[in-house]
Structure 1
């Protein structure tokens, strides 16, 4: 009986006008793009409000951010102790909020995946978490029959809305008036709250457990979904029912508007997604899936329909934009060989946002001292590493290289007191460093050999050499004292060993 009924209803309602044909063609352009598998049922899909319109998928104990360009996972947030719910992206796409089955609410930085805020207050699972339009507050709806408004900077609840008698599984904050909050509960009621008085200003009965609610732009009308029925309410008339439509065979689990709010999409446990014209609420198109649908989302640019199912399947339908269709209509079109465009092809192509760009590494230039070494200018190479800010290990390495090349004397000769001063200061600074001592002793001997006849004519060099002599003398005395201590310790150690051997015998 069901098959003939559907056939008759299609003939009756699908009027073959030019407008209907145009709309059918539009929705048929959403072709299945890919089907991905999550580890459990997918309970929530939320798009980022700004380009590139990435979307957050909540399943089991994690929230994953998918790219709308490649449909691959960009970020995975799995810092939950229990099942996660309703991962929602903030308006600036920098933060994400999610609840879990323990009643915990957490705010994450999307880039670093760090936990920025943790809110405690609910004692049962939190199924709804959303940012306010002002980005500083969060709405949470829980199975403890309450909805709360949280202050993100203060990390505390500033409103507690608790007139529902059953699980609160739907809720949102009005974009036009952030003081108005709409909630839906399994007690079959929809309530409108005014945060200025923290009280319920309007209550309506849907007639079935409420799974989802939406507010039309302007805030004058709302839509509730529960059971197989969607109901349209006029708030200006005091909550009067404008339209009640039942086109699904099972419970409607999720709803969303298109980019212009002129079409309503609903997903149901009967495996169907239906699209309504909000002028008359006639079904203009439908999609069928293989499993019951738990959540549905349409990208803000109306190019991607993403559906999450109970079996853990994430289905993505994509509609090519006019720019994409233009590029497809001329695939691989190349300019004529030998023309100017042929030689400049690809010059202005910047790639897509998610493309991996290989950075061109600039040619590594030799350091200044390596440049002088390559040209056998040893004196200039030594001057280059004696500049302020150069690490000591570089200077020692160069001195060692000069010793290996038998060019140390060549690098030191021919200097006046100004150019000799940095080298003597370096000796004075590092001569008592054990790992440098052997090399610097050779350098000091070369300086004395080369400049012994003129070293006392410069007051500056004379002063430095006296300081160097004093420091070397102090180091020798220290080494002698250390040798005495080592000798004493060796005698004590040998005496202890001989005593132990005698006692043992």
Structure 2
């Protein structure tokens, strides 16, 4: 008997996923390229604003600059006395600024790695250092609860902001209005400062210690990160909360925008990087890492994502270019080295921005006395070292070298009174200097040995020798008196010790 109920066939509807969306396909093209190991936790990653967009990685007591083409270290700056923080490259790519755990701020020339400026004022670690848009000022944020603006040419503080009640671990200068400074602190507050009045114009409470802050282009809205939450604030309406999103399980440690500021990337201690659409703050993609993330950065051309972790690993993901982007890159590709096109590039060719420039070392110019020494002209070398303006230590070093070569007598013989005068005057000036006495006594003995039979024929040299004898005699008498005083003091000390011992007995 057939059932009165008709068997229904239920068709399963496809579950909507982001797998096939264009957004998802874009972010999935970021494939792991390499993982590099630093000597300690990676605390900061900052890309250069200019091509080829090299990035500075801060870890332990050094800042290393990596190439985005080869992912190899191009420069290493390690002239820090303690742990370094927040190595940041200036807008022109020529300078780098970093703070350290002693409170010191240093500005380096990237090419030579020389220290150009040193700013002292903070007495606790400086975790944030950033260049102002005008490239002549620096923002620093420290654990001494203050933020400062520094003048680079004068190496002095322009403004000090002191209203925070705890560590200041986040800060930036507005690119659109360099008079506006934004800071975030572990006292859970975000403050907006105005350099024109040196005062806080707006204060907001995030509800958790603030780890990072960002400002949208135009300066009308900001984003703060603290705990597992990011909060969007509208500055135009007086600091009103526009959106608060919590998609991480642990503290968010770092944030960054993509090249168009239409996507927000956040890195967290929960091992994840999440990407948000800033229109509605929905998560459009998520990337999982092997360790807690301390810092995250996306290159200005949206081709490289670099993450630094607590274990010291530096993870680099590179986006695979689509055919349209490949065609554009082929059009801009330079001719192969050794090809005909390479040799016919023209005199106006100035090289690529990512070309490795070999630093030319200036040829060292030897001093005049060193050149005479190389030619074994010992007498001329001694004359050159006795000229006015030469440091005494250099002249002594030359005399010591002549003694080592057994050429002192050769350099002194054959002189008239005018050429012998500077050497005797040098003896008179420095023979009582304890560091030089032993060498100059040998030189004086050689002079007397060579010229003892003719000294009386030159009134000039005879007078100088008498002065030298008088100075040596005075020094000897002084040494005798000092020896007597030392002997007396030793007797007094021993007598006092003997008296103390007798009284104790």
Deviation >3 Å, runs of 4+:
320-329, 342-358, 485-491
Asked if 1 retains the 8 angstrom alpha-carbon contact of 2:96 and 2:110, the reply is yes
Instruction: Measure how far apart 1:345 and its partner are.
Output: 7.1
Alignment of 1:23-422 (within 5 A): 23-321=23-321, 325-326=326-327, 344=340, 354=354
Q: Indicate if the aligned counterparts of 1:140 and 1:147 stay in contact, CA closer than 8 A.
A: yes
2:51–2:353 CA contact under 8 A, matched in 1: no
RMSD (Å), alpha carbons = 3.6
Question: What displacement does 1:477 show?
Answer: 13
What SS class does the counterpart of residue 24 from structure 1 fall into? helix
Shift of 1:487: 9.4
Render the CA deviation track for 1:475-503: whole Å, top value 9, x for unaligned: x999xxxxxx9998799xxxxxxxxxxxx
| Shift in CA distance, 104/343, structure 1 to aligned 2, threshold 3 Å | closer
Report the Cα distance in structure 2 between the residues aligned to 1:178 and 1:343, rounded to whole angstroms: 48
**For 1:412-463, what per-residue CA distance to the aligned partner results, in whole angstroms no more than 9, with x for missing partners?**
xxxxxxxxxxxxxxxxxxxxx9xxxxxxxxxxxxxxxxxxxxxxxxxxxxxx
Gap regions ≥5 residues in structure 1:
1-10, 330-341, 359-392, 394-432, 434-475, 479-484, 492-505
Q: Deviations over 1:269-314 (max 9, x none)?
A: 0000010000000111111110000000001011111100001001
TM-score by length of 1: 0.64
Q: Relative to 1, partners in 2 of residues 1:42 and 1:344: Cα closer, same or farther, differing over 3 Å? A: same
Q: In the alignment, is the contact (CA less than 8 A) between 1:206 and 1:231 conserved in 2?
A: yes
- Deviation, 1:321, is 3.9
Question: Which of 348-357 and 92-101 deviates more?
Answer: 348-357
Paired with 2:79 and 2:271, the residues of 1 have a C-alpha distance of 31
Q: Secondary structure at the match of 1:302?
A: coil
What secondary structure is seen at the aligned counterpart in 1 of 2:211? strand
Distance in 1 (CA, whole Å) between partners of 2:117 and 2:357 is: 34
Residues in 2 aligned to 1:302 and 1:477: alpha-carbon distance in whole angstroms: 76
Alignment check: 8 A CA contact 2:255 2:296 kept: yes
- Shift of the alpha carbon at 1:184? 0.3
Gaps of 5+ in 2: 1-14, 331-337, 359-371, 373-379, 381-413, 417-447, 455-505
Question: CA separation in 1, counterparts of 2:415 and 2:91?
Answer: 72
Alpha-carbon distance in structure 2 between the residues aligned to 1:343 and 1:91:
35
**Residue in 2 aligned with 1:481?**
none
Return the offset for 1:23: 1.1
1:219 aligned counterpart, secondary structure: coil
In 1, Cα distance between equivalents of 2:196 and 2:137: 14
CA distance in 1, matches of 2:450, 2:147: 80
Q: How many residues align?
A: 356
Distance 2:144 2:188 in 1: 16
* C-alpha distance in structure 2 between counterparts of 1:176 and 1:298, whole Å: 21
Q: Equivalents in 2 of 1:54, 1:488: separation in Å?
A: 69
Normalised TM-score (structure 2): 0.64
Greater C-alpha radius of gyration: 1
User: Are 1:70 and 1:354, in contact at CA under 8 Å, matched by a contact in 2?
Assistant: no
What SS does the corresponding residue of 1:25 show, helix, strand or coil? Answer: helix
**Counterpart residue number, 2:459:** none
Distance (whole Å) between structure 2 residues aligned to residue 262 and residue 192 of structure 1: 23
Structure 1 pair 250/98, CA: closer, same or farther in 2 (3 Å)? Answer: same
